[in-house]
Amino acid sequence: MKHLALFAAAGTAAALAAFPAAAVEATMTSGGFTGMGLTPDARLVGWGRLDLVYDHQLPGAANPAGHNVVTGFGFFPNLEFGARVAANSPLQANCFLEPCGGLRDLSASAKAAIGLDARNRFFIAAGATDVGGQATNFRSYYGVLTYLDDAFEISGGLANRITTGTQATRSPLAGPFASAAWQPLPWMRGHIEYTDHNAWAGVRMFAPSSWLPQGWSAHIGADVRLTDTTLSQRSWFSAGLSIPLYKVPNGPTARLPAPLPELAEGQRPLPTYEARMPPAGGVAVSPAPQPPAPANDPLRPGAPPSPPAPARAVAGPDLSTATLEALAERLRQQGLEDIWVGRMPDRSVAVRVNNATYNWNAVDALGVALGAVSHTLGETRTAYRLVLTQRQVPLVAVTGEADCLRQWIALATPACPAGELSTPGTTSPAALQAGAEWVVQRLQPSWKTLRVGLTPVLRTNVATEVGTLDYAAGIGANVSLPLWAGASADWRVTAELARSDDYAPGGVFYNRHIPNDTESLALTQTLALPLANWLARGDEVAVRNAGLAAASAQVAAGRFGYHFDGVNASLRWEPGEGRHRVTAAAGWMRNDDFGRVAGEPEKATPLLLSYRYDVAATRTYIEATAGQFMFGDRGGMIGLRQWFGDVSVQLYYRRTNFGSTGTRSMAGLEFTVPIGPRRDMNPSLFQVTGTPRFSHAVETTVGSRQNVVSSGYGVQPPVPGLDAVFNSDRASLVYFEDNIRRIRDAARW
> What is the spatial distance between Cα 471 and Cα 460, in angstroms, rounded to a whole number?
4
CB atoms near residue 529 (< 10 Å): 16
> What is the spatial distance between Cα 425 and Cα 550, in angstroms, rounded to a whole number?
5
* pLDDT score, position 306: 37
Structural contact between residues 681 and 688, judged by C-beta atoms closer than 8 angstroms: yes
Structural contact between residues 432 and 340, judged by C-beta atoms closer than 8 angstroms: no
> What is the spatial distance between Cα 646 and Cα 697, in angstroms, rounded to a whole number?
17
User: Helix, strand, or coil here: 510?
Assistant: helix
Delimiting residues of CATH 3.30.300 domain(s) in the chain: 316-445+737-747
Find the distance separating the first CA and the last CA of the chain, reported in whole Å. Answer: 64
* pLDDT score, position 246: 80
DSSP 281: T
Q: State pLDDT tens for residues 226-269.
A: 999 888 999 999 999 999 988 644 433 333 433 333 444 443 33
DSSP 249: P
Q: State pLDDT tens for residues 706-748.
A: 555 566 788 999 999 999 999 999 999 999 999 999 999 999 9
SS (H, E, C) 137-158: CCCEEEEEEEEEECCEEEEEEE
Which is more confidently placed, 263 or 382? 382
Structural contact between residues 26 and 103, judged by C-beta atoms closer than 8 angstroms: no
> What is the spatial distance between Cα 712 and Cα 512, in angstroms, rounded to a whole number?
10
Report whether pLDDT(290) > 70.
Answer: no
Q: State pLDDT tens for residues 49-76.
A: 999 999 999 898 888 888 999 999 999 8
DSSP string spanning 557-612?
EEEETTTEEEEEEEEEE--TTSSEEEEEEEEEEEETTTTTSTT--SEE--EEEEEE
Q: State pLDDT tens for residues 693-710.
A: 999 999 888 876 555 556
> What is the spatial distance between Cα 286 and Cα 21, in angstroms, rounded to a whole number?
41
- Fold for 2-90+102-244, please state it: Porin (2.40.160)
Please state the rounded mean pLDDT for residues 534-547: 84
> What is the spatial distance between Cα 715 and Cα 560, in angstroms, rounded to a whole number?
13
Please state the rounded mean pLDDT for residues 377-391: 94
Please state the rounded mean pLDDT for residues 562-568: 95
* pLDDT score, position 131: 83
* pLDDT score, position 258: 37
* pLDDT score, position 316: 54
pTM for this predicted structure: 0.85
Closest by Cα among 100, 97, 44 to 72: 44
> pLDDT-based confidence at 682, cuts 50/70/90?
very high
Please state the rounded mean pLDDT for residues 46-51: 92
> pLDDT-based confidence at 524, cuts 50/70/90?
very high
> pLDDT-based confidence at 90, cuts 50/70/90?
confident
Q: State pLDDT tens for residues 481-508.
A: 999 999 999 999 999 999 999 999 988 8
Report whether pLDDT(658) > 90.
Answer: no
Q: State pLDDT tens for residues 404-452.
A: 999 999 987 888 888 999 999 999 998 899 999 999 999 999 999 999 9
Domain 316-445+737-747 class in CATH: alpha beta
DSSP string spanning 67-128?
EEEEEEEEEETTEEEEEEEEE-S-TT--TTTS---S-EEEEEEEEEEEE-STTS-EEEEEEE
**Residue 444 Ramachandran class (φ > 0 left, ψ -120 to 50 alpha, else beta):** left
> What is the spatial distance between Cα 71 and Cα 82, in angstroms, rounded to a whole number?
5
> pLDDT-based confidence at 205, cuts 50/70/90?
very high
Average pLDDT score over the chain: 85
Please state the rounded mean pLDDT for residues 553-559: 97
Please state the rounded mean pLDDT for residues 587-600: 86
Burial class (CB in 10 A: 0-12, 13-18, 19+), 228: exposed
* pLDDT score, position 705: 55
Structural contact between residues 735 and 711, judged by C-beta atoms closer than 8 angstroms: no
CB within 8 A of 308, min separation 6: which ones? 415
Residues forming beta bridges with residue 350, ordered by sequence position: 342, 385
> What is the spatial distance between Cα 233 and Cα 695, in angstroms, rounded to a whole number?
38
* pLDDT score, position 540: 81
Backbone dihedral angles phi then psi of residue 497, each to the nearest 5 degrees: -110, -35
Delimiting residues of CATH 2.40.160.40 domain(s) in the chain: 2-90+102-244
Structural contact between residues 395 and 526, judged by C-beta atoms closer than 8 angstroms: no
> pLDDT-based confidence at 134, cuts 50/70/90?
low
Q: State pLDDT tens for residues 162-195.
A: 876 555 788 999 999 999 999 999 999 999 999 9
DSSP 282: S
Please state the rounded mean pLDDT for residues 207-223: 93
* pLDDT score, position 266: 42
* pLDDT score, position 521: 97
* pLDDT score, position 303: 36
Structural contact between residues 718 and 520, judged by C-beta atoms closer than 8 angstroms: yes
